[in-house]
Chain A
Amino acid sequence: MLPLLPLLPLLLLLLPAAHGAVERVGYTPSLTKSPVLEGLTTGSTFVLDQPRCVFDKYSNADIWLVVALESTAANFSNSVAPGTAESAFQNFPDSVPAYMTLNATLANYPCPKPAGDITVLRVGSETSCSGDAARPTCNGPLPGPGPYLVKFLALEGSEPVAETGWSQPIMLRTAKSSNSISTTDGGHSAGMIALTTILSILFAILLAGLVAMFVFWGSDACGGSSTFSKPEAVSVRRYNTHHVYDQPAARL
């Protein structure tokens, strides 16, 4: 009996492992590529493609989404049960490495995907339950910019049976302060500079003309020949002066 005793715990350990081998399906969750979405990543949400035609063998399984930070993903264990404090959204990322949300069955992800349908999962869309500890599977808004890793985990009962790989790191958007917008870098347009210059020159010429008018008030600066008279001015007529005509000698 004695030599068997150390083997017993080993056998006990091996038994569950042999029973629950988690199949790794060849699918990596990714952000939606088609159609192009403006809100693909926002400050607290991101949009994933639904895992269609991935878990086809597991028609009885619940498919959960596991969300973790890149730095904590390695600490997540597949044996954590959904809907408990160890996988609660409200405890992420303070006391749990990842949370599980967006519970679905294969019926929610029919295969093949109908053409023209937009099949996405918006992570972070449920704002009403984000503080409610009674809703640990809440799909609440993400608490920071990330980077996040996600994977899908299929559970039959409470046994994990299949999982996808971890996704690429997903960074969310961070907002800059509106004070950082500079409003003084406009500069002056060429039109405005031309307009100002030309108008200033014209005004200067007019002022110079006004000064010239006053300086030459009364004097015929332009010369007598260009002086013109008012309409009612009297015109000077030439008078013939009387003089004695020289009589021809024949008249005498």
Chain B
Amino acid sequence: MAKSEDCIHILQGLLVFGNVVIGMCGIALTAECIYFVSDPHGLYPLLEATENDGIYAAAWIGIFVGFALFALSILGIIGIIKSDRTLLLVYIILMLITFAFEMASCITAATHRDFLTPNLFLKQMLERYQKAEPANNNDKWMTEGVTKTWDKLMLQNHCCGVLGPSDWQEYTSAFRSTHNDADFPWPRKCCAMDAQGLPVNLDGCKLGVPGYYNSNGCYDAISGPVNTHAWGVAWFGFAILCWTFCVLLGTMFYWSGIEY
């Protein structure tokens, strides 16, 4: 039976190690999701206005799943060392529930990331940026959020529109209905600004002279952080789930072999 004893101890050791890793990954997942929910790039108003903020929902779920993974991993370690059938059964069932939640979070993050195309942001920007007459309070809140976010984006990233300043020329917009085309071919924030926040050369900006206006589109500045957020939640969660799958299978096997 010595060989069997060794096998038991190896299996126990592996499962304890597996649970330790799950616990640490749970803490890491919680920390990562808290970082994303805190919205360091200030892009949440844009997603809220598109009503496509699923990646934020996925991050919120990730926070709680991370805590659950940490707590359950401690339960698992205790259950394996004591070889207690009841504890391990509770552990397996709760872990399966947590697995299901984390699976939902990963799939939500990945699916909603696919919705965030340039056209989505373009349409929203044209319809909401500096919209003059919001229909109700909710509309007003979203319009203000979108306008402030775009102003900040265009100033800080030296960009204009989603694909370029021509967005404002190619399509009608709420902005165009209140600002005439000759004075405002594109918003003032697209102009190169000096230290006081005034355009360096307004005529140069209106003409579109290189150097006096922002010629790039802002899509890269938006999609970079959004992609990091979505893929960070989705793929890290996927990695944790693959590892958890192996540990759970091992625990199920261990459980079925315990005498009672």
Binding site for B on A (CB under 8 A): 35-40, 42-45, 47, 118, 120, 122, 124-127, 141, 173, 175-178, 180-183, 185-189, 191-192, 195-196, 198-200, 202-203, 205-207, 209-210, 212-213, 216, 218, 221-222, 225-231, 233, 235
Contact = CB atoms under 8 A, between A and B. Distances in A.
A141 B181 contact: yes
List the 7 shortest-distance A-B pairs measured between CB atoms, nearest first. A38-B208, A39-B208, A192-B110, A43-B181, A141-B182, A178-B126, A181-B123
Give the interface centre of A185, A199, A207 by most chain B CB atoms within 10 Å. Answer: A199
Interface in B210-260: 210, 213, 215, 231, 234-235, 238, 241-242, 245, 248-249, 252-253, 255-260
Interface stretch (B68-76, B95-103, B147-155): B95-103
Interface string B100-143: 10010011001101110101101100110000000000000000
Contact of A37 (B99, B113, B209, B235): B209
A206 B182 contact: no
Contacts of A200: 103
Given A183-B117, A206-B248, A213-B255, A199 B238 contact: yes
Nearest to B260: A218
A127 B241 CA distance: 63
Interface stretch (B4-12, B13-21, B23-31, B192-200): B4-12
Nearest to B107: A196
B166 interface: yes
A207 B182 contact: no
Contacts of A231: 83
Interface stretch (B38-46, B55-63, B171-179): B171-179
B180 interface: yes
Nearest to B52: A183
Where chain A touches its partner, the secondary structure class is loop
B99 A206 contact: yes
Given A38-B213, A183-B123, A125 B114 contact: no
B99 A222 contact: no
A37 B207 contact: yes
B56 to A, nearest CB: 17
B171 A35 contact: no
Contact of B215 (A38, A183, A229): A38
The majority secondary structure among interface residues of chain B is helix
B183 interface: yes
B181 A42 contact: yes
B241 A120 contact: no
Given A120-B207, A203-B99, A45 B119 contact: no
Of B172, B181, B231, B259, most A-chain CB atoms within 10 Å:
B181
Nearest to B125: A178
A175 B4 contact: no
Contacts of A188: 111, 114
Nearest to B11: A228
**A45, A183, A226: which has the most chain B beta carbons within 10 Å?**
A183
Contacts of A183: 117, 119-120, 123
Contacts of A124: 182
B33 interface: no
Given A178-B123, A210-B92, A230-B258, 11 more contacts: A37-B209, A38-B165, A45-B182, A122-B203, A125-B206, A181-B171, A195-B235, A205-B245, A206-B99, A227-B259, A235-B1
A226 B208 CA distance: 79
Contacts of B107: 192, 195-196, 199
B1, B169, B182, B203: residue with the most chain A Cβ atoms closer than 10 Å: B182
A191 B135 CA distance: 39
Contact of A192 (B114, B208, B209): B114
Contacts of B260: 218
A173 to B, nearest CB: 5
Contacts of B207: 37-39, 47, 118, 120, 122
